[in-house]
Amino acid sequence: MLSKTMEKALNEQINKEMYSSYLYLAMAAHLSEQHLDGFAKFFEIQSQEEWGHAMRIYKHLNERGGRVVLDKIDKPQTTFKDLEEIFTLTLEHEQFITKSIHTLVDLAVKEKDHASQIFLDWFVNEQVEEEANMENWLAKIKMSGAKGHVLFMLDGHAGERKK
């Protein structure tokens, strides 16, 4: 049985995941304006992935007899100084999401909601991957200075992302 406390927390996480999708789409739009099509594609895919995360939680709530309550999605930042700022903000945002997922796991343990705890394990593992990926990109951008030819090389590499 899904408690009302867990239901509310999962609904809040849906909103956070949808905001993540919206934020990454705003980053994609900005990068597209800058003619960095590879990075734009990278963040379009990231946006779709985050939307998928929201839908996983949506389905879990429905399967457990919970009520999905959608809230407004805040407007994300839409302009950025450079690629380093984008990946710094992305890493910080993923760290925020990681903390939120960990809080959900702690709540599931407290509520003795084993089904939600097992369900959330996927998100715990996903966040390890998300943070590592963004840390890796940020390190490459900082090391290279992400200007000139190097920027075009990185943009091409980012555009190879399939999922």
Least Cα distance to 14 among 117, 118, 115, 123 occurs for: 123
- pLDDT bin (cut points 50, 70, 90) of residue 157 is confident
Q: What is the pLDDT of residues 9-55, one digit of tens each?
A: 999 999 999 999 999 999 999 999 999 999 999 999 999 999 999 99
Q: Which two tokens stand for residue 120?
A: 């959330």
Token pair for 95: 């760290």
CA 2/CA 99 separation, integer angstroms? 21
In tens, the pLDDT along 43-82 reads 999 999 999 999 999 999 999 999 999 999 999 999 999 9
CATH class, 4-158 region: mainly alpha
Share of the chain above pLDDT 70, in %: 100
State the pTM of this model.
Answer: 0.94
Give the whole-angstrom CA distance, residue 53 versus residue 16. Answer: 10
Residues in the chain: 163
List the chain domain ranges. 4-158
